Structure 1
Amino acid sequence: MEPKRFIIIDDDRLTAGHAKAVLQKAGHKVDVHNSSIQGLEAIRSERPDAVLTDVMMPDMDGMELTQKLREDPSFDEMKIFVFSGKAFEYDRARAMELGADAYILKPIKAESFLSTVDRILGDRVEVKFWGVRGTLPKPGPNTLRYGGNTSCVTLSFPRGQFFIFDAGSGIREVGSNLLASGKTRTEGKIFISHPHWDHINALPFFAPLFIPGNDYEVLGPMHGSLGIEKLVSEQMSGAYFPITVREFGARVTYRDLREGTYDVGGLQVKTMLLSHPGYCLGYRVDYGGRSVCYITDNEMFLPDSDYHSPGYMDQLADFVRGTEMLITDTTYTDEEYRSKVGWGHSCLSQVVELACRGEVKGLYLFHHDPDQDDDAIDAKHAIARMMIEKRGADVPCYCPAEAETVMV
């Protein structure tokens, strides 16, 4: 990242000095002001790339300063970081509402502080794969490269929104990672594509749901008359699981989704009904002129099939058009698929067809059959790339492994 110009406004000289040292070590140029009035004058004259301000300041506190800066359209591109020793959710929410890009607790920790700064300045979304297999987890020596966990992908946004897609066995690792981060409070949105077991059965093992003070919303499609709340609670009833949703310590809310466009945490999320038994949704998340599409489970029938629907393929291609990341069900090779027609999953040739027609900027093969070991997935990836090359299309194709991170 190119060096940026920062202005720090904080009457706490120790914190200001520490933050300055961390930023300068990273190559940035930093000025410090201990008065908010003087700091505001400096901001207006010097036009920095970013401002770091304390909440509790004499003359003008950090909240008021943030509001003043956001009222001036000429500062729209400037990033604002708010420091505070107050860990209350009200203060964090208030700062974000007024236009802060991040709320950083004192005392600052150099590594996490710099990571937050880099994420905000880069304005990029972190996409992480926690489970890439379908149907059943696949532990063992032949699945070490891609991992054995089932469907779970997370999106972390610059201003702190945290989206989790599906609750396959990979979601347990998401929870363990959040606990290990040392955060005293976590929140997020958990999107369920559909309530088949391999997409919901690890939700009870997502530890943050049991911690008071955390806040999670579970979103997903209804199944007949059953809403997403009922679907989650039913699988955790006494007959199937020893702990019920009544033991959740976090604040857990639910939202039923259908096809449409939704505002989720200030971000646009589009949904589309997929070709799979029951009510299954695909998701498209748009942010800053970029998008990520999560399309699993989904069966695109071969053109010679009686069930092939050109209209559905057109609709799906429009839904994913131009996306930076198409994460999609690629369960079978074409040879394997011939004996699995009607099972609700796609084969390579139709996935490649979708990616090329949709002019996606990155195709990510996902939801691998449990009978496929690492070598079989490697072979599937190679075939997909050859298919794309044969078409003369410019579509990069990837086969992400568990724990892999992609910045969009």
Structure 2
Amino acid sequence: MKVSIQGVRGSIPTSGSQTAHFGGNTSCVTIMEGDRMIILDGGSGLQKVTLPDPEVKRVDILLTHFHMDHIQGLGFFSALFDPEKEVHIWAPSSITHNLHSRLNRFLSPPLFPVLMRDLPCELFLHDISNSSFEIGPFTIMSQFVIHPGATVGFRVKGKNAVFAYVPDHEPALGPKGLNFDKKWISGFELMEEADLLLHDAQFTTEQYGKKIGWGHSSMEDAIQLAVYVGVKRLLLTHHDPAHSDTKLNEILEALKSKHTGQFDFDLAREGMEIELG
């Protein structure tokens, strides 16, 4: 299984640099197993995604939720404008509006010039919740997690590895806070003993104290959570866009110094490719 990171919500370049080391695109990750690809989230990083085989007919996009930084790339994804393509979009269900009506709010004027009904691809929409389903060689679990609005995380099992994707999550807001008890941890089953976890870590501990309830995690909380659920490797994502590359590297150095020898963690970076299994 190969995990490729196309967008992490971004950092700002260090002074004097033209590009951000950690990346400026918003959330998007692709997973390959053999010649089959699935796409997690449709942020601006989706524009960088190319299909492994131009002849492939089916494309699957799995959305964690409908905040703009996770869907803003959809309208610029070439497969949606290809009449030869069959595009499947999977996204969390809502008790108030179906998936079609929520997508249509974005893929229509004034936010976007092309109406969803005019997209030439063959479009299939799938409402999911606490669900399990299969796409090609992938077995996928979705589960609601703590974040404003209907939001899920994903656990993707390939032939020889498990990848957990929880990019927007505030586990410390659960009923037990960080006094971990398996049955109370938001998203525990998604993350448990995964080979790789990509998890929200927008804030420093100091920042988080002023942002409780915003739906995002501190880096320290994400590390504690990953240790508790037993993941083999953690990538911290959803970087605060106000943090420069220099600031992020300083934070990472401090975290590495504090957690020396515990387990493997790093900051996610746009362009990363990780082979699992």
Deviation sequence 1:375-398 (CA, Å, 0-9, x none):
122123223323432xx52x2112
Q: Which residue of 2 aligns with 1:163?
A: 38
Secondary structure of the corresponding residue to residue 75 of structure 2: helix
Counterpart among 207, 223, 227 of residue 356 in structure 1? 227
For structure 1, the residue ranges without an aligned partner over 5 or more in a row are: 1-124
- Scaled by the length of structure 2, the TM-score of the pair is 0.89
Secondary structure of the corresponding residue to residue 301 of structure 1: helix
* 1:144 CA drift (Å): 2.1
* Cα pair 1:142 1:373 within 8 Å, conserved: no
Q: Which residue of 2 aligns with 1:329?
A: 200
The percentage of aligned residue pairs carrying the same residue is: 27
Partner Cα distance (1:167, 1:190) in 2: 7
The verdict on how the C-alpha distance between 1:316 and 1:373 changes in structure 2, with shifts beyond 3 A counting, is same
Alignment of 1:122-271 (within 5 A): 125-133=1-9, 141=17, 143-158=19-34, 160-174=35-49, 177-178=50-51, 183-271=54-142
Partner Cα distance (2:264, 2:92) in 1: 31
Partner Cα distance (1:252, 1:148) in 2: 29
Alignment of 1:299-310 (within 5 A): 299-301=170-172, 310=180
* 1:165 CA drift (Å): 0.7
Q: Which residue of 2 aligns with 1:397?
A: 265
Partner Cα distance (2:83, 2:94) in 1: 30
The verdict on how the C-alpha distance between 1:265 and 1:369 changes in structure 2, with shifts beyond 3 A counting, is same
Alignment of 1:77-88 (within 5 A): none
Partner Cα distance (2:177, 2:274) in 1: 35
Task: Give the AA of the match of 1:155.
Answer: I
Deviation sequence 1:150-169 (CA, Å, 0-9, x none):
100000111x3211111111
Q: Does residue 242 of structure 2 align to residue 371 of structure 1?
A: yes
* 1:262 CA drift (Å): 1.6
* Cα pair 1:143 1:373 within 8 Å, conserved: no
The verdict on how the C-alpha distance between 1:308 and 1:399 changes in structure 2, with shifts beyond 3 A counting, is closer
Secondary structure of the corresponding residue to residue 262 of structure 1: strand
RMSD of aligned Cα (Å): 2.4
Q: Which residue of 2 aligns with 1:80?
A: none
Task: Give the AA of the match of 1:151.
Answer: S
* 1:229 CA drift (Å): 2.4
The verdict on how the C-alpha distance between 1:319 and 1:208 changes in structure 2, with shifts beyond 3 A counting, is closer
Q: Does residue 261 of structure 2 align to residue 386 of structure 1?
A: no
* 1:133 CA drift (Å): 1.4
* Cα pair 1:128 1:403 within 8 Å, conserved: yes
RCO higher in structure (CA 8 A, sep ≥6): 2
Secondary structure of the corresponding residue to residue 172 of structure 2: coil
Partner Cα distance (1:185, 1:302) in 2: 42
Partner Cα distance (2:98, 2:253) in 1: 41
Higher helix share: 1
* 1:313 CA drift (Å): 5.3
Equivalent pairs, count: 273
